[in-house]
Amino acid sequence: DAMVIQNPRYQVTQFGKPVTLSCSQTLNHNVMYWYQQKSSQAPKLLFHYYDKDFNNEADTPDNFQSRRPNTSFCFLDIRSPGLGDAAMYLCATSNMRGLAGGLLADTQYFGPGTRLTVL
């Protein structure tokens, strides 16, 4: 089945130790997103890729970086995790469809998330 896969599902890291979270998709969607979600809160968009074009949210800390080596994979790198970065990290994909008059927003499909713990 076509899907969004995140690895690992649970990640424990130490304060200040770099960590990389992985997302892959079999949907062949052209847009991939990374969200941070803290307990009892809505997902917060960190950045997204439209094909190879990277789009950072204005309030995303420099500590968070991303790579998209190909259509299927996208990585979230946290260079120096702090205690406040402990959260669920969600990857999502969507397919921007070109129609007469422009692009059409479409559904975002989420992966199961990676729960990050910072010790």
Partner 1 sequence: GESVGLHLPTLSVQEGDNSIINCAYSNSASDYFIWYKQESGKGPQFIIDIRSNMDKRQGQRVTVLLNKTVKHLSLQIAATQPGDSAVYFCAENSGGSNYKLTFGKGTLLTVNP
At a CB cut-off of 8 Å and minimum separation 6, what does 24 contact?
Answer: 4, 5, 7, 72, 73, 74
| C-beta separation of 40 from 55 below 8 A | no
Backbone phi, then psi, for 85, in 5-degree steps?
-90, -5
108 binds partner 1 (CB under 8 A): yes
Between 38 and 67, whose beta carbon lies closer to partner 1?
38
115 binds partner 1 (CB under 8 A): yes
96 binds partner 1 (CB under 8 A): yes
| C-beta separation of 90 from 111 below 8 A | yes
66 binds partner 1 (CB under 8 A): no
**Binds partner 1 by CB under 8 A, chosen from 74, 76, 90, 118:** 90
31 binds partner 1 (CB under 8 A): yes
CA dihedral 31, 84, 57, 18 (to 10 degrees): -60
| Nearest approach, Cβ of residue 3 and partner 1 (Å) | 11
86 binds partner 1 (CB under 8 A): no
107 binds partner 1 (CB under 8 A): yes
Question: Which residues are at the interface with partner 1 (CB under 8 A)?
Answer: 4, 6, 31, 39-45, 48, 50, 55, 90, 92, 94, 96, 102-105, 107-113, 115
